[in-house]
Structure 1
Amino acid sequence: MKKEHGFTILVIIVIWQFLSMTVNNDILIPFPIEVLKDFSDLFTKNVFYSSIIATIYRVLLGFLISFVIALILAIIANRYKLFRNCFEPIQILAKSIPNISYIIIVLVWLGSEKSVSVICFLILFPIFYNNFLFAMDEEPQELKDVEKIYPESFLELTRVKTIPLLLPTILSTSKMAFGLGFKVSVMAEILGQVQVGIGRQLYIARQNLDTTNLFAWTIVIILLCFIIDWVFDQFINRKKHGG
């Protein structure tokens, strides 16, 4: 963490402390020290770990399915123009539907427990597909010329050319998509009132007007997103340095 980041966090905590002292109502703005205490208490509870595991499992499932299907369809669309043109209306429709519409519609169709991963898939798929297709469209002309001179099978081209070409886009898009999928999945858990998950804990805190616990779980979400970004940054940096 940079020194500037630490300074910014300190300023936020000072402002938070000032506001909580001014309002003096822990339902509206709890004191930072109380939130920190509640946050540390979470680590002693089994529900803390089961909630995180359940939410991450749902996110991973939706993330992986959307990634694999988008990658396959983008490669086919790049190779076969007829398929690309036929699929384009679905692509436009998928990226135009508001996220909240996806959440509500899928919750009505599937119920709470099965819907979170499906919602994650529906929201992440257009992001993966569009980014993969754009990256392949930007392929250098030199590579296209070599492909014409030395033609290979579709599968061989995918293995030796397309996947290596897409790798930087795969890493950068995955970093952004996983963070978005995590936040959307938590929102879906809250609206769907799942039995186990981070969203469930936020819903309970809201029902009990326990803003301190709500803030504590929000810190958990922020830290998890930070860890996810850090992990992807390690892969991206290794790729940049030829690792």
Structure 2
Amino acid sequence: MKKEHGITILILLTIWQVLSMSVHNDILIPYPLDVLMDFLHLLTTKIFYMSIFSTIYRVFIGFLISFMVALVLSIIANRFKFFRNLFEPIQILTKSIPNISYIIITLVWLGSEKSVSIICFFILFPIFYNNFIFSMDSEPQDLKDVERIYPESFIELTRVKTLPMLYPTILSSSKMAFGLGFKVGVMAEILGQVKVGIGKQLYLARINLDTTSLFAWTIVIICICFIIDYLFNQFINRKSNGG
């Protein structure tokens, strides 16, 4: 962590402490120390780990399906103009529908437990597909000319040229998509009232007016997003350095 980051966090904590002392109402703004103690207590409970595993599992399923479908469709669309034109209305439609509409409609159709992964798929698919298409469209013209002179089969061309070319885009898109998918997944869990998950714990904290627990679980979400971002950055840096 950079020194400036530590200063920013210290300033935010100071503002939080001042506000909580001014309001002096833990339902509105709990004290930072109380939230920290509640967070440490969560680490000793079974439901903490069950909730994190359940949420990450649901998000990962939606993430993986959206990634695979977008990768296959984008490669086909880049290779065959007919399929690209065929997929274009779907691409525009998935980009235009608000996220909350995906969540509500999917909850109505599938119920709470099955909907989180499907919601993540609908929201993450356009990110992957658009990024993959943009990356392939940015291919230098001289490489396209060489491809016309020395044609290869579609499968061989995908293996030796398209996938290596997409590799940096795959890493950067995955980093952005998984973080977004995690937050969307938690929101879907709250609205769907799943049996186990981070969203369920946030929902219980809200209806019980337990703002301290609400803040503690929010810190959990921030920590998980930070860890995900850190792991992706480490992996990207290792690959960029030839590791």
Who is 2:113 aligned against?
Answer: 113
**Partner amino acid for 1:149?**
I
Q: After TM superposition, give the deviation of residue 241 of structure 1 in Å.
A: 1.6
TM-superposition CA deviations, 1:151-189 (whole Å, max 9, x none): 111111111100110011101111000000000000000
Who is 1:91 aligned against?
Answer: 91
- 2: CA distance, partners of 1:142 / 1:227: 40
What is the 5 A alignment of 1:105-184?
105-184=105-184
What is the DSSP-based 3-state SS (H/G/I as helix, E as strand, rest coil) of the residue aligned with 1:196?
coil
Who is 1:5 aligned against?
Answer: 5
- 2: CA distance, partners of 1:21 / 1:210: 18
Identity rate of aligned residues, in percent? 77
What is the DSSP-based 3-state SS (H/G/I as helix, E as strand, rest coil) of the residue aligned with 1:30?
coil
Structure 1 position 48 matched with structure 2 position 62: no
TM-superposition CA deviations, 1:99-139 (whole Å, max 9, x none): 00000000000000000000000000011000000000001
TM-superposition CA deviations, 1:26-64 (whole Å, max 9, x none): 000000000000000001100000000000000000000
**Partner amino acid for 2:62?**
G
What is the 5 A alignment of 1:221-232?
221-232=221-232
**Partner amino acid for 1:196?**
V
Q: After TM superposition, give the deviation of residue 142 of structure 1 in Å.
A: 2.1
- 2: CA distance, partners of 1:185 / 1:205: 18
- 2: CA distance, partners of 1:239 / 1:78: 26
**Partner amino acid for 1:208?**
N
Is contact 1:168-1:239 (8 Å) kept? no
**Partner amino acid for 2:50?**
S
Structure 1 position 240 matched with structure 2 position 214: no
**Partner amino acid for 2:242?**
G
Structure 1 position 57 matched with structure 2 position 57: yes
Runs of 4+ in structure 1 deviating by more than 2 angstroms, as ranges, are none
Q: After TM superposition, give the deviation of residue 149 of structure 1 in Å.
A: 1.9
- 1: CA distance, partners of 2:211 / 2:146: 61
- 1: CA distance, partners of 2:168 / 2:48: 34
- 2: CA distance, partners of 1:170 / 1:105: 29
Structure 1 regions of 5+ residues with no counterpart?
A: none
Q: Mean alpha-carbon deviation: is it higher for 122-131 or for 136-145?
A: 136-145
What is the DSSP-based 3-state SS (H/G/I as helix, E as strand, rest coil) of the residue aligned with 2:56?
helix
TM-score (structure 1 length as normaliser) = 0.99
What is the DSSP-based 3-state SS (H/G/I as helix, E as strand, rest coil) of the residue aligned with 1:102?
helix
Is contact 1:179-1:225 (8 Å) kept? yes
Q: Over aligned residue pairs, what C-alpha RMSD do you find?
A: 0.6
What is the DSSP-based 3-state SS (H/G/I as helix, E as strand, rest coil) of the residue aligned with 2:139?
coil
